[in-house]
Amino acid sequence: MLDIRQVHKAYATPQGPLRVLAGVDLRLAAGESLALMGESGSGKSTLLHLAAGLDLPDRGEVRLDDRAISSLAEPQRARLRRERLGLVFQQFHLVPSLDVLDNLRLQARLAGRESPDWTARLVARLGLAGRERHYPEQLSGGQQQRLAIGRALAPRPALLLADEPTGNLDETTAGEVLALLLDLVREAGSALLVVTHSPRVAAPLDRRLRLSHGRLGEAPP
Amino acid sequence: MRGRALAVTWLVAGWLVTGLLVGCERDPAGEPRAGFAGLGTDAGGFTPVAPEAALRFPEDHGPHPGTRLEWWYLTANLRDAEGAPLGIQWTLFRRALRPPTAPAAGAWAADQLWMAHVAVSRGADHRVAERFARGAGQGGADEARQAGVIADPFRAWLDDWRLESRVEAGTGDALDRLEVSAEAGRGEAAFGYRLTLDAQGPLVLHGKPAFGEAAAGAGGPIYLSQPFYRVTGTVTLGGERLSVSGRAWLDREWGNQLMAPWHHGWDWFSLHLAGGRKLMVYRLRGEAATDTTLFGSWIAADGETRALDGEALSLTPLATRSVAGRELPLRWRLTLPEQGLDLEVSARHPNRWMSTSVPYWEGAVTVRDRDDGAARGEGYLEMTGY
Amino acid sequence: MSPLGVALATLLSHYRRHPGQLAMLLLGLWVAGALWSGVQAINASARDSYARAEALFDADLDRLTPGDGRPLDRRDFVTLRRAGLPVSPILEGEVTTASGERLTLIGIDPLTLPGDSAFASPGADGGLEAFLAPPWRTRLAPETLAALGQARRAAPGATPALAGGQRLPPLAPTPALPPNTLVMDIAAAARLLERGDGLSRLVVPADTLATAPPGYRLVRAEQRLAPGELTASFHLSLTAMALLALIVGLFIVQAALGLALEQRLGLLRTLRALGVPGRTLVGLLAGELVLLGLAGALAGIASGVGLASALLPDVAATLSSLYGAEVGRTLRLPWHYWLGGLGVVLGGLLLAGSGVLWRAARLPVLGLGQAQAWRAGFQRQLRRQALGGAASALAALGLWAWLAVRPPGEGLLAAFGLVAALLLAGALWLPPLLAAALDGLGRRMHRRPLLQWALADLQLQLPRLALAMMALLIALSANLGVGSMVGGFRLTFLDWLDQRLVADLYLRPPPARLDEIDAWLAERPEVAERLATAGGETTLLAIGDAETPRQSVALFGITPGDAVRPGWPLKATLAGREAAWRELAGGAAFVNEQLAIARGIAPGDRLTLAAPGGDERLLVVAVYPDYGNPRGEVLLATPQLRRRFQAPPGSLGIVLADGAAAKPLAAALRSRFALDATALRDQRQVKRLATGIFERTFAITRALNALTLAVAALALLATLLAQARERRRRLAPLWALGVPRGRLVRVQLAQLGAAALATGLLALPLGLAVSACLVDTINVAAFGWRLPLHVFPGEMLLTLATALGAALLAAALPSLTLWRTPPRALLAEEAP
């Protein structure tokens, strides 16, 4: 369902162009989970942003559901994100002015397919029962990330993209959040692409790839 | 007697109902319909008109402020030095707002209204002016007023529009010799006249028609005419001063209630016929033919007067023309079987519309024999309520 | 809810968590809308009144007045009518209502009144007959009913009593009439005013008469100034002040919007990431603007009407005392007023919000704004502001140069443009100046770490504070400028009153008794001098040998006696004061400053004036100041004026001998000649009346100024409140480092106080420049007189204190919350 072919990407910096991706190929089938590993600055997040259509490659092609993202106009890419993708960020990016429940339902509502049963189940599974009317800043870090995961999964996306989902959490919490993430992805039937530098996070996933010097290679299990 | 009277009554009363404030030519919406323009309304509180037998001159040439309505109404058929016909009109109306009470509340207080119309017509040219003034019944019409009438020596005026006796005291009726003058308009549009009128016969008293209880008989209005004037003088029109001469007819009338409720207009004729004879005829129009009243006076050259009614005369419109947006009968057939007269009376020119606060048609007519088309005389026609 | 609705609700949810920002936005819109629409409401009402006054029956008619100044009466009317002249009589007077208000009463003769006058409007009950005949009718504008204590519904037909006990004829409300005017038949008016045969004037249709009939003078309609023209400058000033308030209000709006956007940048990016297209977001933000704008503008316009109702009596008083123009004291608003107000406020909002929308539209999905980049952006903005300020200053210079070569009294709009350019230049220069000052100071303070931090921190705050400070600067400068102008005017005016009011008693007897009273006074030992005046009106025909457009001028006669000469102020003379007075007594003339400026008359010019006995040529030997007089005036010695222009006598000033008391003489005069209260006044009374009028005249100016300043202070407060939470977060590390909270609060107050003080200092020269503009150009153009520029150190100190006070007051609330925040909470308040 996600098909990345020979993607190149470089950024202009005051010190000259910075090559981040140099001919990356990546395929992900429906329901499959994949860990994208690499050092800081190796271009993991850039690849994720390209996959989400948040950014466009200089060369090469990103295809989602057999459609080339680069050929889509911005509103269509936005629609694709809204309806097909879920995004989980390291910094959570919750909406501070919405309460827990509204944050959770936000993307599903934007996609126009909110399911009360699934939302209720998510609240319970995320351990946020009783805190629906709290605001994000009143939650702990782990709770905030669980909420961000729930928000991404609420519309049951075909593909969940997670960027260091446990990067801001302590080890215990990280473990709990990860387990929950995998559980829920399975329940939702989504494919999963996780960007992480942590082998612990990568271990339970179907596949692991490592990005270094702009190219992908198999990562050790 | 009623013809001229009703025409003018309609004018004066209509002026008050529809006049100044509401603009011209508008129907008095919402007014209860009591005769045309409210003329059928009761005239409560005013002095009853004295019987004809009690007429005294020169006093009765002056105003009768105790009655509701009164006028001095002059028309003349003139010719200039080239023999081209022209006509003039000079009228002064008085209306009492209420029965006069003594003393009037201050120098400005008004219980009488004065209205004057002046017109000069020649061919297509028809000039009209209108003025108003306030007056008071008590305290007399002294010279220090904008408008008024004094019986002796006779003077009637509104502003500088004047009708004055030129008879030397004690040498005859005050109206036997008159001077009339008026000026209006400015620049190119200025018009006016100064005329001397000499009566060739006596004052004439008209009879009273029978069409309704209230207006008939004793207490009804008095209608007098001096139809025998010979005229000389000058007329100003279109930047020219013209020497003129011809005939004039003066009407006097005063009274309180003057019209039956069902009447809504009239056609009135004052005609100078060959041999010094005069004919006054009017038709009072109602909704139905039976509501129409026809009345007139046959006046011999010596002033002997015979009242005419619907039996003695007949009046038929022959053709109409559109004037000022209205269909007006400008050609008439007039028959008086007893005199063996079958006449055709037609307007000299259709454009004689009086665009005054209450509009009407007033203009010169010619009289011809219907059989041979020979000229039989001339005169004036007034039509209202169209 | 549709996805669009969800996105909008999410955007708006920001205000639920930050109601302060919403309040600030609405407040800005509200005050901007209220002040602007309030003043517009006043202008609209006044214009309506003028329009009705101009439509009144005799506004476009020529007038006939007796050549010899004798009173007119009915005989004049009848004589002229019978001579064929289409004159109509008007009787005008004043009546006092039971509640003490004075109303103009006009008696007319509808039968001779020419043309389509306001009177001839349909709808009055009973028509002509009811109007003409007892009990007559009183026609009046509906808003005049209040003065008679009548409710609108019950008014038709009511016969309210006047102060003297007489009753008015039944009322007939007529909307087309001007306010405070009663119109009735001349018979009814003569009775109420007890004027018998008397008349105020005779009118004729414009241009019917080529010349006046013998013994009369003809005053053409076009020679009389319509109130609308006279007062245009006053309304322009009001509009300028309202515009100032609107701009200050929009400053608040812009600040609030910027803040609300900045705090929602993350939210916007999140929404983009969640699949809301960028264009949709911009559209939604625009929608948010319109929603807020409608709410704020509607509230503003509604309160503007309230404000206008509160200010209108003052405005009406001003207009009536300064220009003699009657304006209704209740509002009459045309429909376009509402739409116009809404349009201006919404337009202003969109203008203020366009920057925000532009930034939102260019927001990248990724690459969150870096502080450094943003700092560079602010530097760029400072440079742009400095350049813009320079451009404004250049524009101001250009306008000033242009105005300097114009004849005095012209270029009112350009003068307002000059003031605007000055204010704009000052406002634009303020942030760069503050930034430079902070930079320079910060470098010198490296020894005192807390001070250095405070300066650096203030620099960081500057972008947000800048707008509020600019608003404050504009308000302060305008306040100082207008305050100095009014204060200077006041001083000059009081001086001038002292110089002109030299008599101890002022007597205005009935003209018929004047000679008798004068003779009696001549015999009294306590009377040192009698100063007879006379007044009249004529037409200025030519200056020198050049014919001029005909203009009606007032004539005034004074007695150039020993009491008058030394003090009477003169602005320019031909050959010195002594000579000027000598020549005045000998038949030369003075002209007032208004006339001199308007027509370019200088001492030495010869004026040709229309006079009953043929044109009079007069040598001008001096120009004198004449504050508060809307008309051009020619001054002559009273005997000259009475003889050459057959002018009627006016008041009589009585100068007492040394040591004589005014009271016994006044009492003697009153009892001997049965004078009423208004016929005899002492000097103190006259001065009190004049100063009272002066104070009321500028009440509206002061009120608007104070309101604008209050708005600016509010802007500052709102800005500070809006960023209070963030400020606390910045202060937390300092607290953690061991700076006590009390000291933090003081540092905060000091930061703002210093910034405000700097603003105030900049406002001083700016305010003086504004004042100079007002005094030098705008007053001359608007009123026709030039005042000396006064500098009031007290006023300047007050400006500084106001700036400081406003800033400290605005900082106090955030500081108080900081003071009361538990220390631990400072650190807990982390960025979400």
pLDDT digits (tens, 9 = 90+) for C631-671: 788 999 988 888 888 777 777 888 888 888 888 888 888 88
Specify the range with the lowest mean pLDDT, choosing from B4-8, B372-376, C55-59, C439-443: B4-8
Q: Report if residue C682 sits inside a domain.
A: no
The answer to whether C275 contacts A135, with C-beta atoms less than 8 Å apart, is no
For B319-335, what is the mean pLDDT? 93
Q: C791: distance to nearest CA of chain A, Å?
A: 53
- Residue C312: φ, ψ to 5°: -55, -40
Query: Smallest Cβ distance to B106: which of C129, C132, C190?
Result: C190
Residues C251 and C321 in one domain: yes
The pLDDT of residue B377 is 94
Residues C634 and C666 in one domain: yes
The answer to whether C275 contacts A136, with C-beta atoms less than 8 Å apart, is no
Q: C216: distance to nearest CA of chain B, Å?
A: 19
Is the per-residue pLDDT at B23 higher than 70?
Answer: no
In this prediction, residue B27 has a pLDDT band, given cuts at 50, 70 and 90, of very low
**CA–CA dist B141, B147 (Å, integer):** 8
Q: Closest Cα partner for B294 from B312, B279, B277? A: B312
The pLDDT of residue B168 is 83
Specify the 3-state DSSP secondary structure of C546: strand
The pLDDT of residue A175 is 85
Specify the range with the lowest mean pLDDT, choosing from A33-37, B333-337, C294-298, C360-364: C360-364
The pLDDT of residue C54 is 66
For A136-142, what is the mean pLDDT? 86
Q: B152: distance to nearest CA of chain C, Å?
A: 19
Q: Which domains does chain B have, with CATH numbers?
A: 2-384 (2.40.370.10)
**CA–CA dist C565, C638 (Å, integer):** 14
Q: Report if residue C306 sits inside a domain.
A: yes
Q: Report if residue C632 sits inside a domain.
A: yes
Is the per-residue pLDDT at C558 higher than 80?
Answer: yes
The pLDDT of residue C563 is 82
Is the per-residue pLDDT at C403 higher than 70?
Answer: yes
Please write the tens of the pLDDT for every residue from A27-71: 999 889 999 998 877 888 888 888 888 888 889 999 988 888 888
The pLDDT of residue C59 is 61
In this prediction, residue C78 has a pLDDT band, given cuts at 50, 70 and 90, of very high
The pLDDT of residue C227 is 56
In this prediction, residue C375 has a pLDDT band, given cuts at 50, 70 and 90, of low
The answer to whether C6 contacts A98, with C-beta atoms less than 8 Å apart, is no
The pLDDT of residue A169 is 77
The pLDDT of residue C186 is 92
In this prediction, residue B232 has a pLDDT band, given cuts at 50, 70 and 90, of very high
The answer to whether C10 contacts A95, with C-beta atoms less than 8 Å apart, is yes
Last residue of a domain, one of C204, C225, C246: C225
Q: Where is mean pLDDT largest: B226-235, C552-561, C757-766? A: B226-235
The pLDDT of residue A159 is 92
The pLDDT of residue A192 is 93
The pLDDT of residue B376 is 93
Please write the tens of the pLDDT for every residue from C732-742: 777 777 777 78
- Mean pLDDT for all residues in chain C: 80
Residue with tokens 């209860």: B32
Higher pLDDT, B24 or A172: A172
Is the per-residue pLDDT at C594 higher than 80?
Answer: yes
Please write the tens of the pLDDT for every residue from B100-115: 776 656 778 888 889 9
The answer to whether B144 contacts C120, with C-beta atoms less than 8 Å apart, is no
Query: Smallest Cβ distance to C274: which of A102, A106, A136?
Result: A106
**Nearest chain B residue (CA) to C192:** B106
**Chain A residues inside the 8 Å CB shell of C825:** none
Q: Which domains does chain A have, with CATH numbers?
A: 32-39+75-218 (3.40.50.300)
The pLDDT of residue B314 is 92
Residues C100 and C160 in one domain: yes
In this prediction, residue C240 has a pLDDT band, given cuts at 50, 70 and 90, of confident
Write the burial class of residue B258 (CB in 10 Å: 0-12 exposed, 13-18 middle, 19+ buried): buried
**CA–CA dist C829, C825 (Å, integer):** 6
The pLDDT of residue B211 is 56
Last residue of a domain, one of C195, C225, C255: C225
The pLDDT of residue B315 is 93
Q: Report if residue C233 sits inside a domain.
A: yes
Residues C448 and C389 in one domain: yes
Is the per-residue pLDDT at C300 higher than 90?
Answer: no
For C449-453, what is the mean pLDDT? 79
- What HEC string does chain B produce? CHHHHHHHHHHHHHHHHHCCCCCCCCCCCCCCCCCHHHCCCCCCCCCCCCCHHHCCCCHHHCCCCCCCEEEEEEEEEEEECCCCEEEEEEEEEEEECCCCCCCCCCCCCCCEEEEEEEEEEECCEEEEEEEEEEECCCCCCCCCCCEEEECCCCEEEECCEEEEECCCCCCCCCCCEEEEEEEECCHHHCEEEEEEEEECCCCEECCCCCCCCCCCCCCCCEEEEEEEEEEEEEEEECCEEEEEEEEEEEEEEEECCCCCCCEEEEEEEEEEEHHHCEEEEEEEEECCHHHCEEEEEEECCCCCEEEECCCCCEEEEEEEEEECCEEEEEEEEEEEHHHCEEEEEEECCCCCEECCCCCEEEEEEEEEECCCCCEEEEEEEEEECC
Q: Closest Cα partner for C109 from C156, C74, C65? A: C74
DSSP letter at A75 equals H
Residues C390 and C362 in one domain: no
The answer to whether B134 contacts C111, with C-beta atoms less than 8 Å apart, is yes
Q: Where is mean pLDDT largest: B82-91, B256-265, C620-629? A: B82-91
Q: Which residues, listed in sequence order, are joined to residue C95 by a DSSP beta bridge?
A: C103
Is the per-residue pLDDT at B234 higher than 90?
Answer: yes
Q: B23: distance to nearest CA of chain C, Å?
A: 8
**Chain A residues inside the 8 Å CB shell of C1:** 109
Give how many domains chain C has, as a whole number.
Answer: 4
Specify the range with the lowest mean pLDDT, choosing from B59-63, B209-213, C362-366: B209-213
The pLDDT of residue B158 is 95
For B204-218, what is the mean pLDDT? 63
Is the per-residue pLDDT at B21 higher than 50?
Answer: no
In this prediction, residue B333 has a pLDDT band, given cuts at 50, 70 and 90, of very high
Interface residue C280 vs chain A (CB under 8 A): yes
Interface residue C832 vs chain A (CB under 8 A): yes
Please write the tens of the pLDDT for every residue from B31-68: 333 333 344 444 567 777 777 778 888 889 999 888 88
- This prediction has a pTM of 0.61
Higher pLDDT, B209 or C298: C298
For A183-204, what is the mean pLDDT? 88
Residues C603 and C711 in one domain: no
Neighbours of chain B (3+ CB pairs under 8 A): C
C289 half-sphere exposure, CB direction, 13 A CA radius: 27
The pLDDT of residue C313 is 75
Residues C641 and C658 in one domain: yes
Specify the range with the lowest mean pLDDT, choosing from A16-20, A205-209, B156-160, C104-108: A16-20
The pLDDT of residue B32 is 33
The pLDDT of residue C228 is 56
Specify the range with the lowest mean pLDDT, choosing from C186-200, C290-304, C328-342: C328-342
Interface residue B163 vs chain C (CB under 8 A): no
Last residue of a domain, one of C369, C385, C415: C369
Q: Report if residue C502 sits inside a domain.
A: no
For C140-162, what is the mean pLDDT? 85
For B344-359, what is the mean pLDDT? 90
The pLDDT of residue B19 is 27
Q: Report if residue C504 sits inside a domain.
A: no
The pLDDT of residue B229 is 96
- In terms of residue numbers, what domain contains C68? 63-225
For B140-164, what is the mean pLDDT? 87
The pLDDT of residue A91 is 80
The pLDDT of residue C814 is 73
For C127-131, what is the mean pLDDT? 79
For A157-169, what is the mean pLDDT? 86
DSSP letter at C203 equals E
For C536-550, what is the mean pLDDT? 81
Interface residue B111 vs chain C (CB under 8 A): yes
Higher pLDDT, B376 or C729: B376
The answer to whether C120 contacts B21, with C-beta atoms less than 8 Å apart, is yes
Q: Report if residue C77 sits inside a domain.
A: yes
In this prediction, residue C127 has a pLDDT band, given cuts at 50, 70 and 90, of confident
Residues C115 and C47 in one domain: no
Is the per-residue pLDDT at C70 higher than 80?
Answer: no
Interface test with B, best of C81, C117, C136 (most B CBs within 10 A): C81
**CA–CA dist B219, C441 (Å, integer):** 112
The answer to whether C6 contacts A74, with C-beta atoms less than 8 Å apart, is no
The pLDDT of residue B353 is 93
CA-based end-to-end distance of chain A: 24
Write the burial class of residue C89 (CB in 10 Å: 0-12 exposed, 13-18 middle, 19+ buried): buried
The pLDDT of residue C79 is 92
Residues C242 and C177 in one domain: no
Write the burial class of residue C684 (CB in 10 Å: 0-12 exposed, 13-18 middle, 19+ buried): exposed
In this prediction, residue C591 has a pLDDT band, given cuts at 50, 70 and 90, of very high
Interface residue B164 vs chain C (CB under 8 A): no
The pLDDT of residue C97 is 86
The percent of chain C in helix, strand and coil, each rounded to the nearest 5, is 60, 15, 25
The pLDDT of residue C551 is 77
Residues C102 and C173 in one domain: yes
Specify the 3-state DSSP secondary structure of C512: helix
Residues C820 and C704 in one domain: yes
Residues C82 and C47 in one domain: no
Specify the range with the lowest mean pLDDT, choosing from B85-89, C334-338, C585-589: C334-338
Is the per-residue pLDDT at C798 higher than 60?
Answer: yes
